[in-house]
Amino acid sequence: MWDYTDKVMDHFKNPRNVGVIPDADGTGQVGSLVCGDALKLTIKVNKETEVIEDAKFATFGCASAIASSSILTEMIKGKTLAEASTITNQDIADALGSLPSEKMHCSVMGMEALEAAVKSYRQGGKPVVFEQEEEKIVCHCFNVSEEAIIKAIRTNHLTTVEDVTHFTKAGGACGRCKGDIQKILDKVNGACELPSRPAEKVFSQMTLVEKIKKLESVLEEDVRPKLNMDGGSAELVDLEGTVVKIRLTGMCHGCAGAAGTLKNFIEKTLKEKVDPSLSVEQA
């Protein structure tokens, strides 16, 4: 029997926000019954503030899948789309007090369903099924691409084929791809050089989640420390295309020089560090 935390068992036995929002503003789906796990996440969004006012899930899966989906709905309710988009699979697992390593793919499924739901909202509400980018498929049993495996290894610091299976399910059926998974592990972790490592994605090629994380990284490292020196700060509220919505807080809020701070400092920094096409507006 799996060693589940009390919080996992609570969310499994008493799942929150089960069901489907009939007039959902965003619907994200991931997985399939063929692969053993499936999740549908529906969200209701305030059009003016882009705050997620309601979230429900319907899942087919184990206790970990149900618990991960349940706590995810609690984590995103009350958050803006931009804030929710920064949630990672590790955040979901941590919120549950941990998950067995063999069940970490359940938290990944929640993160992917959330990404698809946000994308669905941005596209007018039409349901979106999370799909891997068109890459070489390594595990045909579970349709896991090489890019997905590399991402899991780097994000979660995986070192063994067993680790990769726990996080992505790759290699968990027939096992024929385990040799290929080991080769990928060797390349990523430095046992041998990658023949041609692709260049870092430009901003326009990133997913919404990647864009939000990139912006948050620059704000945290290059913007907030300087604003904090004067008793102020800045929050990322939303991203609409290339327009970044920023809310100034603390001493910066309502300051006579707020417009200059946004344009001459924050916008300039984001253009230099992220992408020259970006512009910043007050949220």
Q: Which sequence positions are flagged as catalytic?
A: 35, 106
Structure token pair of residue 235: 């929050």
- The pair phi, psi for residue 206, each rounded to 5°, is -75, 155
Instruction: Calculate the alpha carbon distances from 235 to 40, 158, 224, 267, 280 in Å.
Output: 30, 32, 9, 13, 12
CA atoms within 13 Å, Cβ hemisphere of 221: 10
Give dist(CA 241, CA 204) in Å, integer. 9
Q: How does DSSP classify residue 16?
A: S
Distance, in Å, from the CA atom of 175 to the CA atom of 178, rounded to the nearest integer, reads: 6
Supply 132's token pair: 């891997």
DSSP per residue, 164-221 = HHHHH-TTSSS-TTHHHHHHHHHHHTTSS--SSPPPPPPGGGS-HHHHHHHHHHHIII
Going by C-alpha positions, the residue among 133, 140, 111 that lies closest to residue 198 is: 133
Q: Which of 46, 67, 49 minimizes the C-alpha distance to 57? A: 67
Residue in this structure with the two tokens 């979230």, named with its chain if needed: 55
Amino acid identity for residue 127 in this structure: P
